[in-house]
Chain A
Amino acid sequence: MVSLLSLYLGGGAELLFGSVKEHHVTLPNQSEPWDMKQLLVWIRGNMLKERPELFVQGDTVRPGILVLINDADWELMGELEYELQDKDNVVFISTLHGG
């Protein structure tokens, strides 16, 4: 099923995406539902403009990047195993730059 997602990047993470904070993406069709793991792979391949190691590390996001799915901590949603629904809102905030 086609998933329309809105992605938001904050805290400096947008620098890796051409300084654009808001993105609306349509994920390509596939038989199984998309989960976060696949989404990260997709982002790494299609959206990241530079320095992928600053965003994705191995399977998961780099330590220090907070992920919110529909304004809730992704740890409560199952982290990488969470299955994406249509019109979900995913937020990546980098907490590495202090205040």
Chain B
Amino acid sequence: MCQVDEEYNGQLEHRVTPRVSKKCVKCKENTAVLIIRAGDAFCRGCFKEYFIHKFRAMLGKNRVIFPGEKVLLAVSGGPASSSMLSQVQEGLSRDAPKKLRFVPGIIYIDEGGASGQSMEERERAVAQLESVFRATNYHYHIVHLEQVLSLPSSVLDAGSSATEKPQTGSSYKAAVDQFIQTKKNQHPDLSVENAQSHLSSLSMHEVENGVTSPITPEHTQALQKLFASVRTLTAKEDLLHTLRQHLILHTARTQGYTKVMMGDSCSRLAIKLLSNISLGRGASLATDTGFSDPRYGDVVIVRPMRDYSSKEIAYYNRMFDIPSVFIPGLDTKAQDKASIQHLTESFVTKLQTDFPSTVSTIYRTSEKLHTACPPQNTNTQPFAKCLLCVCALDTKLGESHCQCTKTASHHRNVLYSLNKSTCNFILKLVFLFPNHINISTYPSLLLCYSCRLTIKDMVSERTSITSHYS
């Protein structure tokens, strides 16, 4: 055997192509309508059961959502988050034995200002989504991305009027400040009940459904200028993601939500994993793609859709009429190589067609990732977090971890590539979240490697925002 002139007389195996009459692998009775994973064919009824069960199993396996807790659902209008919304409705409405019990709210972030959509298009999309949200009877919040820039000066419905100096803000803000401060000094394992009870003791106004303060064209222009100052699409997408996270977090904090559900599907997370490695975010892979993301402390981000592939979601939405709105983003119709994220997406999807286990392999690998906690002195406060993405800093600034002993000039030397105005812009972002860095006593900037690259990408011409603060 295995000689050069060997003749293979036996019949070569033919790959069995499935035929129309293939039966469902589960119930073995009905005709299969969909192939999931490598070869499992399901009929319509079994697929629906499988889909619904997976959602509840995901929540049940990772018991992080407590009964009665307020959970914010981040819905972008796309298929995965719309599917998540319908699953939550399904889970909450059932009179099945294990009914889900939490209080949901919905947030939609209108990013049209950054992706160059006109006001009419944005209003149309918002109107479409509002009709979907109204049908669910949950509280919903429509937030425009422009508000991330004007948060300190705008008065939100919850009554927390933020000012430039965090210490002289309203009592609500000071209370949140103090609450976060006390939480920082405690054991890192925040207990949700403590957070929940403390937040409920703070007086918060009930927000009716609807849009927060309307935005002006100047706001939109400021946002567009900000994004125009970023050169590469990679950095733009990264910045957009960061700003979106900030807005969601802020809304969650001010409205009293302790959990946020994101609709990242398995395929999307596999792509995110690979592109994050390329972006330099390797240190925070576990939190970026894991089920729960505890980096913000009081608000935990969970990803219940992480077990569903895009195909399953698309099929379910089509079969069971889940409304979803397509909203073009930054990378719509972009070239394959336009950004790292886009290139990774096309790479993974292409590989998936020939090797159907690609996405699940990447997903399973991501499950094995754990966060390595850096050694912390008990005396130091855990300030070593990136300003923008709030992950643990992966860049060394010196021998000790305690940043408060460093001088301002030392930090400025480290961030030599940033000029003053860009620093001010970052400082402005810091004002949105004073609980992370106390600016008056700590005038320096901490960015992780990847966020530093994103900021570096901004050209040195001043944008209107930074000139306002210089």
* A residues with CB within 8 A of B: 10-12, 14-15, 51, 54, 63-64, 66, 68, 71-73, 75-78, 91, 93, 95-99
Contact = CB atoms under 8 A, between A and B. Distances in A.
Interface in B1-41: 17-20, 22, 32-35, 41
12 contacts: A10-B318, A11-B326, A12-B328, A14-B326, A15-B332, A71-B319, A72-B32, A76-B22, A96-B349, A97-B326, A98-B268, A99-B263
Nearest to A61: B353
Interface residues of B, number: 43
B311 interface: yes
A65 to B, nearest CB: 9
**Max count, chain B CB within 10 A of own CB: residue among A15, A51, A63, A68:** A63
A64 B349 contact: yes
Interface stretch (B75-83, B132-140, B150-158, B441-449): B75-83
Contact of A75 (B18, B78, B83, B350): B18
A54 B305 CA distance: 26
Interface string B70-89: 00000010111111100000
A44 to B, nearest CB: 17
B34 A72 contact: yes
Interface string B199-220: 0000000000000000000000
Contacts of B324: 99
The 8 closest A-B pairs by CB, nearest first: A99-B80, A99-B78, A95-B310, A99-B81, A64-B349, A99-B263, A63-B353, A72-B33
Contacts of A76: 18-20, 22, 32-35, 41
B315 A99 contact: no
A11 B316 CA distance: 13
B234 interface: no
Nearest to B33: A72
